[in-house]
Amino acid sequence: MSLLTVRRLSKRFGGIAANREISFEVAAGELVGIIGPNGAGKSTLFECISGFYAPDAGEVELEGTRLTGLSPDLVCRRGIARTFQKLRPFQGMTVAENVMVGALTRTRDVRHAREQAHEWLRRVGLLEKANAYARTLSTGQRKRLELARALATGPRLLLLDEVTGGVDQRSIPALVELVRELHAGGLTLLLIEHNMRVVTAVAQRIIALHLGEVIADGAPSAVARSPKVVEAYLGQAYVA
């Protein structure tokens, strides 16, 4: 059985169909990239999966358990965690406290949560900043904080929304390496990325969206060469 099943997911906003009958499955342990030009519906897809939007039609299932339309906190407790494209650290709390909020979803004990938080911070390379206030972090560090915080909730599936967005070129490889390590540790990941170099380097499989529909689903090399994808991004002139 696949870990995540998205079946004929549809979502409209007024006259615009942001997601049209999107269907795909993700097996446990996969690392799948979601790409598509602006307005393709990638963010809407994430919002529907994570419970911030309720889809108009279609189903989202995690190992057979129906998640469609559940509230975000319920989705998280069932095993799907996410990061946000526009970083949202808890500014008035320290780095460790931020991660503790995630850990407290899995454990009732505050001390235990603090230990777990420190462990996750060590994994993402932020341990030295544990007692600093979240608002003092650089963008790259905030990205790691969001990661640690989401991971602390102990998810089966992690949705990463533009994890390299706004990060300077020099810091990207280290961040990508971190994502790879997490994946190697057994985590299933779904990534939205605009940076094609990052996606093609790290994903085993890419799903391409355009105007709300899936136009390609397969290995990165195949998807990048798919005529539909080339046309969606660049225009007919570039097709072969």
Partner 1 sequence: MNPQLSVAALDVAYGEFQVLWEAGLEVAAGEIVAVLGPNGAGKSTLVNTISGLLRPRAGSIRFEGQRIDGLPAHRRAGIGIAHVLERRRLFPFLTVHDNVLLGAHNARARPQREATLARLEALLPLLRTRRSQLAHTLSGGEQQMVAIARGLMAQPKLLMIDEPFLGLAPRMVEEIGVLVRRIRDEQGISILFIEQNVELSLKLADRGVVLESGRTVLSGPSAELLRSAEVKRIFLGEFAG
Partner 2 sequence: MKAYAPALAFFAAAGLAPLVVDDAFLLDTLVLILVWGCAAGAWNIAGGYAGQISLGHSAFFGLGAYAAALCGVRWNISPWYGVAIGAAVATAAGTVIGFLANRLRGPYFVIATIAVSQVLLLGAARWRGFTAGSEGIPVPFRAGFWTLGIADKRIWVWIVLGLALAVYLSQLYLERSRRGFQLAAVREDEDAALSLGVRARRLKVAAIAASAAFTAVCGALWAQYVGFVDPLYVFSVDLSVRFSLAAIIGGLGTALGPFLGSLLVTTVETWLRAEFGGLGSHLVGLYLILYGSALILMVRYAPQGLMGFFYRR
Binding site residues, partner 1, CB under 8 A: 37-38, 87, 137-139, 142, 162, 165-166, 168-169, 194-197, 199-201, 220-221, 223-225, 229-230, 233-238, 240
Of 2, 25, 39, 52, which lies in the binding site for partner 2, with binding defined by CB under 8 A? Answer: 52
Candidates 154, 152, 139, 136; CA nearest to 95 is 136
Under rule CB under 8 A, which residues in 63-92 are in contact with partner 2?
A: 71-73, 76-77, 81-82, 84, 88-92
Smallest distance, partner 1 to C-beta of residue 86, A: 9
Identify which of 112, 105, 118, 104 has the alpha carbon closest to the alpha carbon of residue 74: 105
Q: What's the Cα-to-Cα distance from 142 to each of 39, 47, 125, 138, rounded to whole Å?
A: 26, 21, 11, 6
Nearest to 89 by CA among 13, 148, 12, 18: 148
Q: Is 103 within 8 Å of 152 (Cβ atoms)?
A: yes
Q: Residue 211 binds which one of partner 2, partner 1, none, with CB within 5 to 8 A depending on kind?
A: none
Per-residue contact flags (x/-) with partner 2 for residues 132 to 171, judged by CB under 8 A = -----------------xx-xx------------------
CB of 221 to partner 1, least distance (A): 4
How far apart are the C-alpha atoms of 73 and 93, rounded to whole Å? 20
